[in-house]
Amino acid sequence: MGILHAIRMQKLVADARHAHAQGDNTFKASIDIDPRGMARVRNPMKKIRKEIDLVVRSVEAVGWECVGIDQFMYSINMAFVRAS
Each residue of 30-60: pLDDT tens digit? 988 887 777 777 778 888 899 999 999 999 9
* pLDDT for the residue 74: 87
Instruction: State how far Cα 13 lies from the chain centre.
Output: 9
Return d(Cα 68, Cα 32) in angstroms, integer: 16
Spatial CA neighbour of 34 closest among 4, 13, 58, 79 = 4
Do residues 80 and 67 lie in contact, with contact meaning Cβ atoms separated by under 8 Å?
yes
Beta strands 64-72 and 75-82: pairing type? antiparallel
- CATH architecture classification, 9-82: 2-Layer Sandwich (3.30)
| SS3 category, 77 | strand
pLDDT band at 65 (very low <50, low <70, confident <90, very high): very high
| Distance between CA atoms of residues 60 and 66, nearest Å | 7
